[in-house]
Structure 1
Amino acid sequence: MDKTIRNTTLFLALAMPFPALAAPIHAIMYKNPSCSCCETYAAYLEKNGFEVEMKPSNDLTQISTAAGVPEQLQGCHTIKVDGYIIDGFVPVDIVRKMLTERPAITGIALPGMPMGSPGMGGSKTEPFTVYAFTTDGQAPTVYAVE
């Protein structure tokens, strides 16, 4: 190979930026200490680009209420991520939608423990309705249906 071509090739290789490695999205999960489905959900999030710090707590209701999660939407874990709250087994695509769109809400929740949702066993038998909530006293609204 000609020396000029080799030097040009080397220059171009070094001048091109390396693809940025996406840093994991840090999330803090407050969970009931005896709930193994929460750990399964955390593993699901980690498999999808999140870094989950688990904080077992026997005061989950207090934590969820303080985070602004309406009582009817509270589940077995509450997650704080990038300024938002996630409660329940919300599919990762809906979490990413919220983090991308950045709506003026406190967070999202999938109430109950629906079969087939991430972290829960079984097959999905009905659509998952994920609700958005705020801390201004307004009723939760449907954020997404999957």
Structure 2
Amino acid sequence: MFVATPLHAAAMTVYKTATCGCCSAWVEHVRQAGFDVEAIDVERARLIEYKREAGLDQRLASCHTARIDGYVIEGHVPAADIRRLLEERPDVAGLAVPGMPVGSPGMEYGDRVDPYRVIAFDEQGGMRIFAEYGN
């Protein structure tokens, strides 16, 4: 008998530094959205290595890097976009929110939401807009 599982049943591993409060807030955001998350605190040098190993273009870098079901999630990507990624399964390496835009998950500051984009990227360096916020 086939039993359907939630789209976000795959475990997510998040690599972050121990002192990053916005990383911890983002981890809480994805947990509250129903994702099973293992957060691993690493030294900054090791975090940079994880990004490099993931093939992440440094223009897409943020403060934490996650892996889920074969995809890389970089930075403050909304949980809804991760869920959409896992549902649609596009031929991309992952999603990124470059930098740390105010108003993105984990970077809340009152009602302020600076415009930001979620970028889908592939292993050949291609990038496209996956979602836009605050416009």
Fold shared, TM-score > 0.5 on shorter chain? yes
TM-score by length of 1: 0.79
Which has the higher Rg, Structure 1 or Structure 2?
Answer: 1
Quote the residue 2:62 is aligned against.
Answer: 75
Tell me, yes or no, if the aligned pair for 1:30 and 1:54 is still in contact at 8 Å: yes
State how 1:31-46 maps to structure 2 within 5 Å.
31-46=16-31
Matched residue count:
127
Deviation at 1:20, TM superposition (A): 6.8
Q: Which has the higher contact order (CA 8 A, sep 6+)?
A: 2
> What 5-or-longer segments of structure 1 have no aligned partner?
1-18
Write the distance in 2 (CA, Å) between the matches of 1:78 and 1:107: 11
Give structure 1 regions of 4+ aligned residues with deviation exceeding 4 angstroms.
19-24
1:44-77 CA deviation, whole Å, 9 max, x = no partner?
1111010110111111111011111110111110
Which segment drifts farther, 122-131 or 20-29?
Answer: 20-29
Say whether the 8 Å CA contact 2:104–2:113 is kept in structure 1: no
Once residues 20 and 96 of structure 1 are traced to their aligned partners in structure 2, the CA distance between those partners, rounded to angstroms, is 15
TM-score of the pair, normalised by structure 2: 0.85
Task: For residues 4-56 of structure 1, give each alpha carbon's deviation from its aligned partner in whole angstroms, at most 9, with x where no partner exists.
Answer: xxxxxxxxxxxxxxx97747441000002211111111111111010110111
Higher fraction of helix: 1
How large is the RMSD of aligned CA atoms in angstroms?
Answer: 1.9
